[in-house]
Amino acid sequence: MSEKYDVIVIGSGPAGYVAAIRAAQLGLKTACIEKWKNDKGAGVNGGTCLNVGCIPSKALLDSSYKYHEAKEDLAVHGISSTGVEIDIPAMLDRKNKIINQLTGGIAGLFKANGVTALYGTGKLLAGKKVELTDNDGVVSVLDTENVILASGSLPIAIPVAAVDNDLILDSTGALEIGEVPKRLGVIGAGVIGLELGSVWNRLGSDVVLLEAMEDFLAIMDKGIAKESKKIFTKQGLDIRLGARVTGTEIKGKEVEVTFVVADGSEHKETFDKLIVCVGRRAFTDGLLAEDSGVQLDERGTVFVNEQCATNVAGVFAIGDLVRGPMLAHKGSEEGVMVAERIAGHKAQMNYDIVPNVIYTHPEVASVGLTEEQVKAAGDAYNVGTFPFAASGRAMAANETGGMVKIIAHADTDRILGCHIVGPSAADLVQQVAIAMEFGSSAEDLGMIVFGHPTLSETVHEAALAVNGNAIHIANRKRR
């Protein structure tokens, strides 16, 4: 008779491995199944995020920025640099070492917390049973009281640009480009497209981003999106909005891309490499047996309630597999919530305060409502902005592009949202997220003493500006 678990987690990305660790910490007998293999064929944890997503892309973003800074941006500091070169294989090797260190770290955390790591493919059967096909092809059925589905997501494929990961690449293949392409095309100017485009733009590629939508970064606050586009265009990214790709053709060692623009006219561009970044879809392939009973919604994600419970008692789903933004930190917190609820705690998650970040340079980050969302709801509101150009710390670092924008309710002054494009935006927006979690007003944030000189002072000044009290810029007239 097979061993019985309290919890089986299918998937060990940021949602799955966190859920498994938290469940084990709460005294639940827990196993975690992962199908990912490294280049040596061994099972490894971490899912997309650690292996071909968040972590490797940030490694390349940081390496490429340091190269660009050394080559282009040091003269202003009085530093002369000549003969600066990029060693692409060494850059990729560094990325791979970081991946190995972090995925190995999860294995260590599993061992330390008593999580049983199982390597292979998991499928949910009827009656909360889990079929495991291990990496040697051996099939077994596991018994458990609870199942947490955390199989993540995959890049969306489009018929007009079939990925071969040679000339036409998805976001995974784009992490392994072995030399700097002279011309790089990117289909999609969203988060992933901007990040990957930025990497190769810094390294010397002529980068063209073809975005079908008319609006740039449509999910972001329009003011921040406009400022971001201005900055990225100045950096050399050729962002073409309203450009819908209708076909691709391999011609020798190049890709010819056909696209239609807003006025209906057809255009062609030729690239050395083409990256397809049009979004991701929930990875449910082979995850659910026909009689599992678990329902999918109209978008192909697993249907869950606010506590990530599916329609089948004892079966939960988290992370990219369910509704909401596909963000690693959102999945992780869902994993904690579900583990705690299984253990009998009344855990909840505040979906209104989930930060979103684009790791370009400068970074773009947001939390809460955009100005457009607040306006559409009909609520009276005030806005405070502060430019990094007025920050002494930003000037000292030669990082003066961008601004901080804070939105607060006009009557209660409660902070409704914060949007930033600028240096360390990912870290700065988290300060406001903490304030929002505690129901703070803009005045509360403005009354806090911030260290000087720091980039954080931009948040302080934006909060003061909400009520017309900014010190280091002229205040807007109140509405």
**pLDDT tens per residue across span 208-255:** 999 999 999 999 999 999 999 999 999 999 999 999 999 999 999 999
Residues identified as active-site = 452
Does 114 reside within a domain? yes
Q: What is the pLDDT of residues 362-374, one digit of tens each?
A: 999 999 999 999 9
Mean pLDDT computed over every residue of the chain? 97
Residue 479 has a pLDDT of: 53
Residue 476 has a pLDDT of: 78
d(CA 198, CA 395) in angstroms, rounded, equals 23
Cβ atoms of 426 and 443 within 8 Å: the answer is no
Residue 3 has a pLDDT of: 83
Tell me, yes or no, whether 164 and 254 share the same domain: yes
d(CA 363, CA 23) in angstroms, rounded, equals 34
Q: What is the CATH number of the domain that holds 208?
A: 3.50.50.60
The one-letter amino acid code at 115 reads: V
Does 475 reside within a domain? no
Does 329 reside within a domain? yes
pTM of the model: 0.96
Does 109 reside within a domain? yes
Does 221 reside within a domain? yes
Does 79 reside within a domain? yes
Does 474 reside within a domain? no
Q: What is the CATH number of the domain that holds 404?
A: 3.30.390.30
Q: What confidence tier does 478 reach under pLDDT thresholds 50, 70, 90?
A: low
Q: What is the pLDDT of residues 17-64, one digit of tens each?
A: 999 999 999 999 999 999 999 988 899 999 999 999 999 999 999 999
What average pLDDT does range 265-284 have in this prediction?
Answer: 97
Residue 393 confidence (pLDDT) above 60: yes
Tell me, yes or no, whether 148 and 167 share the same domain: no
Tell me, yes or no, whether 218 and 140 share the same domain: no
Does 349 reside within a domain? no
Tell me, yes or no, whether 151 and 166 share the same domain: no
Tell me, yes or no, whether 262 and 381 share the same domain: no
Q: Which domain holds residue 429?
A: 362-466
Tell me, yes or no, whether 220 and 314 share the same domain: no
What average pLDDT does range 165-191 have in this prediction?
Answer: 97
Distances (CA, A) of 183 to 80, 168, 306: 29, 13, 45
For 106, phi and psi rounded to 5 degrees?
A: -65, -40
Question: Among residues 237, 259, 278, which one ends one of the domains?
Answer: 278
Tell me, yes or no, whether 247 and 116 share the same domain: no
Tell me, yes or no, whether 142 and 181 share the same domain: no
d(CA 289, CA 308) in angstroms, rounded, equals 20
DSSP state of 473: S
Question: Among residues 278, 313, 332, which one ends one of the domains?
Answer: 278
d(CA 59, CA 52) in angstroms, rounded, equals 11
Tell me, yes or no, whether 147 and 286 share the same domain: yes
What average pLDDT does range 5-22 have in this prediction?
Answer: 98
Tokens of 190: 């969203």
What average pLDDT does range 248-263 have in this prediction?
Answer: 97
Helices (H) and strands (E) in the chain, counts: 12, 21
For 16, the 3-state DSSP assignment is helix
**What's the domain count of the chain?**
3
Residue 477 confidence (pLDDT) above 70: no
What average pLDDT does range 332-338 have in this prediction?
Answer: 98
Residue 2 has a pLDDT of: 66
* String of DSSP letters for 323-376: SS---HHHHHHHHHHHHHHHTT------TT---EEE-SSSEEEEEE--HHHHHH
d(CA 142, CA 139) in angstroms, rounded, equals 10
Residue 315 confidence (pLDDT) above 60: yes
Question: Among residues 292, 307, 342, which one ends one of the domains?
Answer: 342
Tell me, yes or no, whether 55 and 195 share the same domain: no
Tokens of 208: 């063209």
Cβ atoms of 436 and 367 within 8 Å: the answer is yes
Tell me, yes or no, whether 69 and 148 share the same domain: yes
Q: What confidence tier does 106 reach under pLDDT thresholds 50, 70, 90?
A: very high
Residue 5 has a pLDDT of: 98
Tokens of 471: 């010190």
Q: What confidence tier does 102 reach under pLDDT thresholds 50, 70, 90?
A: very high
- pLDDT above 90 covers what percent of the chain? 97
For 54, phi and psi rounded to 5 degrees?
A: -50, -55
Tell me, yes or no, whether 100 and 228 share the same domain: no
Q: What confidence tier does 1 reach under pLDDT thresholds 50, 70, 90?
A: very low
